[in-house]
């Protein structure tokens, strides 16, 4: 598929209309599509790009002959000679035969500009998609944390009811009951804060999607999922071939190449062929006809410009004509002598920028892989800590039944378990974010890197 096809296919994929009712809930891809569809800035940029694309396609008309038709009537009244009434109709054709490839280069330059604009458009769509994904992830993370603390609250309330009965029987000190009530109140405040954060995150996501109420979200945070990561050499190769920033610089290089080539060919003359045929007469039907053909050569440079034209024609039945015309203009624009060197300098600058961006992409790929590995180790450690904390809580329940610890200590153990569960959720989300950063660097959609690596094995 051509670059133009990839740009169009990618944008059409992102601009798919999403139904307003989601019977199965809203997943990552549907959320991204809704976010892109509701973005007025993206719609405007895409419409502008589509208009420019259409104008470029119609611009191929420049290679074909230019046809012009004219009609005139001249009435002349004379006080001395006879009056004159003349009607004229003519058709003219002007065809560019050769210009040293400058018209083709101009088309290539416009194509490079369109490709660069298409790449910028895809980058804008990617930024909007990432914003939606981050908001979606924030919502499901907040809901998971809220669920953890609510479950912890249910356990604490059960223990609190038992503490109230024990206090009525005089089995615990009033200070222990007061401390337990403070712990319960602090947990309630934390749950309230989490609920407010979730409400705000849901409102932000709904605003990005352009809807009032969120449908059910189907995506969940899998705390046991391990990312599929490529080797460093594969990641760097993918970064070189797919990185969006590098792709934009390659488009810029193509544009600079076209500009440099056009500047170097500006002195080459152009060759044009012209032809004219006409009918004239005093009354209808017009009885006289004429024709002429011509060839012109025009050249332009910073130091001299001019042209030569030759034409030959007939005005049957008796007349024929030939014309030779020449023109010369010295030093029309000496400043243009620097255009070729300026274009070559700009091309070298783009090559230098590409080399630096490639080095940065390699380093970014290495750093992204390292962050993914470190965050995955953190997730594994958090998962192991959760298993240990669960065992510790079960041991605390056993100790409580044996009278070795107080019920207040059991409540503290339950709070510690909730903190470890929340830490595991945070670690899993950090892995997802690091993996997504790597996918963005390599120009993959959410989850596409893992599928690509599995398919390539």
Give the range with max mean pLDDT: 102-106, 192-196, 339-343, 405-409: 192-196
From 149, 153, 142, 151, select the one nearest 221 (Cα to Cα).
Answer: 142
Going by C-beta distance under 8 Å and a sequence separation of 6 or more, which residues neighbour residue 23?
none
SS3 457: coil
pTM of the predicted model as reported, rounded to 2 decimal places: 0.76
Query: Which residue is it, tokens 């024929």?
Result: 320
Where are the chain's structural domains?
Answer: 25-64+101-264+341-452
pLDDT digits (tens, 9 = 90+) for 91-134: 999 998 888 777 888 888 888 888 888 888 888 988 898 999 99
Q: Both tokens of residue 93?
A: 């054709």
pLDDT above 60 for 242: yes
Cβ neighbours of residue 372 closer than 8 Å, sequence gap 6 or more = 227, 229, 431, 434, 435, 438
Q: What angle do CA 7, 434, 227 make, to 5 degrees?
A: 95
Please state the φ and ψ torsions of residue 247, each to the nearest 5 degrees: -65, -40
User: What is 169-211 written as a DSSP string?
Assistant: TT-S-HHHHHHHHHHHHHHHHHHHHHHHHHHHHHHHHHHHHT-
- Alpha carbon distances (Å) from 280 to 69, 93, 315, 340: 14, 18, 11, 49
Query: How far is residue 20's CA from residue 334's CA, in Å, rounded to a whole number?
Result: 63
Does the domain at residues 25-64+101-264+341-452 carry the CATH identifier 1.20.1600.10?
A: yes
> Distance between CA atoms of 162 and 408, rounded to whole angstroms?
11
What are 50-93's pLDDT values in tens digits? 999 999 999 888 889 999 999 888 877 777 777 777 888 999 99
């Amino acid at each position: 598929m051509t670059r133009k096809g990839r740009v169009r296919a990618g944008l059409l994929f992102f601009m798919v209309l999403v139904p307003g009712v989601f019977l199965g809930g809203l997943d990552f891809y549907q959320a991204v599509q809704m976010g892109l569809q509701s973005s007025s800035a993206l719609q405007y940029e895409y419409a502008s790009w589509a208009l420019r694309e259409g104008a470029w396609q119609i611009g191929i008309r420049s290679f074909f002959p230019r046809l012009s038709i004219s009609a005139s009537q001249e009435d002349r009244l004379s006080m001395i000679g006879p009056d004159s009434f003349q009607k004229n109709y003519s058709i003219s054709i002007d065809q560019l035969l050769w210009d040293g490839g400058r018209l083709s280069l101009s088309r290539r330059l416009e194509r490079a500009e369109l490709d660069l604009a298409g790449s910028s458009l895809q980058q804008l769509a990617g930024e909007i998609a990432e914003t939606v994904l981050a908001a979606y992830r924030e919502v499901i993370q907040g809901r998971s944390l809220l669920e953890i603390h609510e479950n912890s609250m249910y356990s604490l309330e059960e223990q609190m009811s038992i503490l109230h009965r024990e206090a009525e029987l005089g089995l615990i000190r009033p200070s222990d009951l007061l401390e337990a009530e403070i712990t319960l109140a602090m947990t309630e405040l934390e749950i309230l804060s989490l609920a407010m954060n979730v409400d705000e995150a849901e409102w932000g996501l709904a605003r990005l999607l352009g809807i009032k109420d969120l449908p059910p979200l189907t995506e969940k945070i899998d705390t046991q999922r391990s990312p599929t990561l490529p080797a460093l050499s594969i990641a760097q190769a993918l970064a070189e071939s797919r990185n969006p920033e590098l792709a934009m610089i390659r488009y810029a290089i193509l544009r600079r190449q076209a500009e440099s080539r056009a500047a170097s060919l500006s002195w080459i003359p152009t060759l044009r062929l012209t032809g004219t045929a006409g009918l004239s007469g005093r009354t209808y039907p017009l009885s006289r006809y004429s024709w002429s053909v011509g060839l012109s050569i025009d050249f332009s440079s910073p130091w001299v410009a001019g042209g030569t034209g030759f034409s030959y024609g007939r005005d049957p039945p008796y007349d024929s004509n030939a014309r030779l015309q020449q023109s010369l203009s010295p030093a029309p624009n000496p400043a243009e002598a620097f255009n070729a060197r300026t274009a070559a300098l700009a091309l070298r600058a783009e090559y230098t920028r590409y080399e630096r961006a490639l080095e940065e992409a390699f380093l970014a790929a290495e750093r992204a892989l390292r962050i993914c590995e470190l965050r995955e180790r953190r997730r594994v450690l958090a998962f192991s800590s959760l298993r240990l904390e669960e065992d510790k809580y079960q041991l605390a329940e056993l100790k409580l039944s044996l009278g070795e610890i107080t019920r207040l200590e059991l409540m503290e153990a339950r709070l510690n378990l909730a903190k470890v569960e929340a830490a595991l959720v945070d670690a899993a989300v950090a892995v997802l974010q690091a993996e997504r950063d790597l996918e963005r660097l390599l120009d993959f959609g959410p989850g596409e890197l893992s599928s690509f690596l599995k398919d390539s094995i």
